[in-house]
Homo-oligomer: A and B are copies of this chain.
Amino acid sequence: MKTHTEYLWFNTQSKREYINITSDVREILSKSKINEGMALVSAMHITAGVYVNDAESGIIHDIDEWLERIAPFNPDYQHHNTGETNGDAHLKSLIMHHEVIVPITDGKLDLGPWQQIYYAEFDGKRKKRLIVKIMGA
């Protein structure tokens, strides 16, 4: 059994941003020399997410609008008593989740034809980190 671990760093220009990291994960996999196993891709912050979906600008816009509708910015979150203003970013992170597991088969990410791995930033403009840990043989 082998493991291979790398970290990706982000520092987005805008507060919310959706970044396709599929090729980054693919590159890390190729360095790992692992042929069969699983890749954990997991945000290390509580106001960011990782998800698998479409690399299509329209749906990314729709996801962003939808998240704002069901987990809106709101000055009245109790969390803001700490001095923070990012309560909505925590809730958006919880809906989208902070991690995915991607299967690895024959040395490749075993994704469907339209599946792409995204890092979703909900409280950006600061340094954030993500872990990719691959386990297998």
- In the complex, which of the residues B36, B45, B70, B103 contacts A70, with contact meaning CB atoms closer than 8 Å? B70
Task: Specify how many copies of this chain sit in the oligomer.
Answer: 3
- In the complex, which of the residues B71, B80, B112, B137 contacts A129, with contact meaning CB atoms closer than 8 Å? B112
A136 near B135 with CB under 8 A, answer yes
Distance of A11 from chain B, by nearest CB (Å): 15
A115 within 8 Å of B (CB atoms): yes
B77 near A59 with CB under 8 A, answer yes
Taking beta carbons and an 8 Å cutoff, which residues of A are in contact with B?
Answer: 1, 3, 5, 36-38, 40, 42-46, 51-54, 56-59, 61-63, 66, 70-71, 77-82, 87, 90-91, 93-101, 103, 105, 110-115, 129, 131, 133, 135-137
